[in-house]
Amino acid sequence: MKRLFSLSILLMVFAGLLSGQEVITGLQVNVQVKQQASKVKSVRNNITPLALPFFDDFNRPTILPNPELWSDADVFISDDYAVYPPTVGVATFDAINNLGRLYENASEFPYQADFLTSQPIRLDSLFTTVPHKITRADSIYFSFYYQPQGRGNAPARADSLVLEFLAPGETTYNIIPADTTIVGNDTTIIPADTIAIEGWIKAWSSPGSSLGDFYNQDSTWFKQVIIPIADSARFYVPDFRFRFRNYASLASGSLPDWQSNGDQWNIDYVYLNTDRGMYDSVHRDVAFAAKAPRMLKNYTSMPYSQYRANFIQEMADSISLKITNLDNDAYNASYRYEVSRDNQAPFKFYDGGSFSISPFITSGYVTYQQFANPPVNFQFPIGNQDKVFFTTTHIVNAVANLERRENDTIRNMQVFANYYAYDDGTAEAGYGLAFPSAQAAYRFKLNTPDSLLAVDMYFNQTLNDGNVKKFYLNIWNDYFGEPGDLIYSKFGYEPAYADSLNQFFMYKLDSTVQITEADFPNLIFYVGWEQVTADNLNIGFDRNNDAKSNIFKRTTTGWSNSLYEGALMIRPIIGKEKVVGIPDSKPVEVLLIYPNPTYNGLVKIQLPSGTKTNGCVTSVFNTTGKMIVSKPYSSEEDFSVLPSGLYIIQVAHQDGSIVGRSKLLVNQ
């Protein structure tokens, strides 16, 4: 059993005493998964069996698995949850279903949660230059990397991650062949007498673990598992499949404000192919291994008017990138970044030159300064707009013709709107204070006097809304580096949820608070709450950005900084209430375009569910906004005539109303 009730209580109380009643917990609902799951459901059916090789490193612009490769949509694809992944982007397993909510069978005992099942794969024949029937001499191996917890919640020892192979047509008890072996010290070698039902045969599993224990055992953040597929009678078939699944469990049911998502696992670099071996653990791939960083020094987003008032000081001096080489050989590579505004042509170019990138297994991430820490020797142009966004595109290119090019490009979008933010919009955990009358305050600093109109807050949902308790919304000024006088306070607010991709809920103030030097020395202010119970309010906590020095808490004594690295998902609304995010009007639906990037120009375009396609027109725009292609809509398009670059693909009805729009990267 995962957590005995008495032990759970003791651990929580002890943790609270150590941290001044601060608590970190998981998430119940992933709204992004909930909204996107239905859009790709039809694409996952009736797929022609795939030919080898099978490969996915989960570098996708969408949050769900590639429907051409995977038949279900339980897991979450992102670049936020993993710690030091092989390459940017992983698939995350947790306790949430494909509608973004806790499974109906969720309990404090291990229960079956997410699945990630491959589409059918032709494991009977090869369709290379000389097509032939696959035999054991073709040496088929399956490999992947995995990590427990990541930036989320650690799966307990009784939880597990499981890999299974499908022997189609077998619906009776089957025996694992004795020659099934696995590379990896902490994985489970499946004995020859293991039994499977309905053709799904257990090939590997790992018990739950904290990330710290996982790293201490083998000195690696991600472990690669390599498994031979040698049973030709059972698996060398035209509709072979494999699947990952996890077992999860919740905190004790007597603590409803704690019952939320957790037990995360991350997997990456799933690879099935012939001509491999037990020690085929390297890959000809030079790639980015982390998400694109922001160019601002202090915030992930801020009002454009506040940026204009002190734009030079708001820019970072340099940024940090993680670039890796997964091969045994060094490769000469180039790196550059470019910056564009509102999808227009780039206005800023940085060229980091060339450098020989050594293998990660011997030298780690690239440390060459022009690649690893390029300077930010520019400012975002200033103007009079209320909102604007800039996109920074980072590109690394190896001279050699490598196997993988999917992770050569990463992007960061810098939004200037009407709010301040330290977070990136994705909560990996939840934050709360487990003490009645406890207070939390979040520090911000203006560059010029302005008006505080409202506060956006993102609260994680818990099972049966166990964290919905009324609280005071407070505004303080500064007193020698900590919250000072209470300028605004009102009771009656409670956690609420905005069911959209913009997950924040706006809490309006009864009256506008003017942030001026008279009442707010140095234009520093704090927003936060005071609770009246000991319940964990469970506000979103972003573990990819560290604003710990700006988070303050007070329980029975004075103010002190948080002990946890991360950023609260609290955003004060400054100046104009209407201007939040991009764009002004109702958000345009995102088209599902795959593969993206495309390396031959051939793509499939999936419209939102229920869209009538009669009379629809597909248009292609370049980054300056110029239309370069317009044609009747088809679900399969050939854009091979387009030069390499970034394009906007838009589908519209005959009356001009937009069905959807997405970016497409062409790398030919």
Q: Which of 252, 273, 294 is the last residue of a domain?
A: 273
Q: Which of 215, 248, 273 is the last residue of a domain?
A: 273
Q: How many domains does the structure of the chain reveal?
A: 4
DSSP string, 525-539: EEEEEEESSS----E
DSSP string, 96-122: B-TTSSB-TT--SS-EEEEEEEBPPB-
- Cα distances from 496 to residues 74, 394, 425, 490, 506, in angstroms, run 25, 37, 16, 16, 9
pLDDT at 242: 97
Is 543 contained in some domain? yes
Q: Do residues 322 and 443 share a domain?
A: no
Q: Is the peptide bond before 148 cis (omega within 30 degrees of 0)?
A: no
Q: Do residues 326 and 258 share a domain?
A: no
Q: Do residues 259 and 309 share a domain?
A: no
Cross-strand partners of 289: none
Q: Do residues 341 and 470 share a domain?
A: no
Q: Do residues 311 and 377 share a domain?
A: yes
Model confidence over 569-624: pLDDT tens digits? Answer: 999 999 865 544 433 334 567 788 888 888 888 999 988 877 888 878 898 887 65
**CATH classification at residue 638:** 2.60.40.1220
Secondary element (H or E) of residue 554:
strand 551-554
What is the band of 404 on the pLDDT scale with cuts at 50, 70, 90? confident
Whether the per-residue pLDDT at 353 is higher than 90: the answer is yes
Q: Do residues 545 and 607 share a domain?
A: no
Model confidence over 133-181: pLDDT tens digits? Answer: 999 999 999 999 999 999 988 898 999 999 999 987 654 333 334 333 3
Is 583 contained in some domain? no
Q: Do residues 552 and 506 share a domain?
A: yes
Contact 493, 483 (CB under 8 A): no
Q: Do residues 220 and 171 share a domain?
A: yes
Is 278 contained in some domain? no
Q: Do residues 472 and 542 share a domain?
A: yes
What is the band of 266 on the pLDDT scale with cuts at 50, 70, 90? very high
Whether the per-residue pLDDT at 12 is higher than 50: the answer is no
Instruction: Give the number of other Cβ atoms within 10 Å of residue 481's Cβ.
Output: 12
Is 280 contained in some domain? no
Secondary element (H or E) of residue 233:
helix 232-235
**CATH classification at residue 161:** 2.60.120.260
Is 471 contained in some domain? yes
Is 581 contained in some domain? no
**CATH classification at residue 436:** 2.60.120
Cross-strand partners of 665: 646
CA distance 235 to 494: 55
Q: Do residues 370 and 448 share a domain?
A: no
Whether the per-residue pLDDT at 515 is higher than 80: the answer is yes
pLDDT at 630: 80
Is 256 contained in some domain? yes
Is 474 contained in some domain? yes
Percentage of the chain modeled with pLDDT above 70: 81
How much is the mean pLDDT over the chain?
83
**CATH classification at residue 326:** 2.60.40
Q: Which of 251, 273, 295 is the last residue of a domain?
A: 273
Q: Where are the beta strands (DSSP E) in 384-459?
A: 388-398, 409-417, 429-433, 439-445, 450-457
CA distance 639 to 44: 23
Structural domain harbouring 24: 5-273
Q: Do residues 151 and 240 share a domain?
A: yes
Most confident stretch, 264-278, 483-497, 571-585: 264-278
CA distance 464 to 256: 8
Q: Do residues 409 and 260 share a domain?
A: no
Alpha helices (H) in 529-632, listed in sequence order: none
Cα angle at 73 between 98 and 105, to 5 degrees? Answer: 40
Model confidence over 319-340: pLDDT tens digits? Answer: 999 999 999 999 999 999 999 9
Q: Which residues contact 284 (CB under 8 A, 6 or more apart)?
A: 326, 327, 400, 402, 403, 404
pLDDT at 59: 85
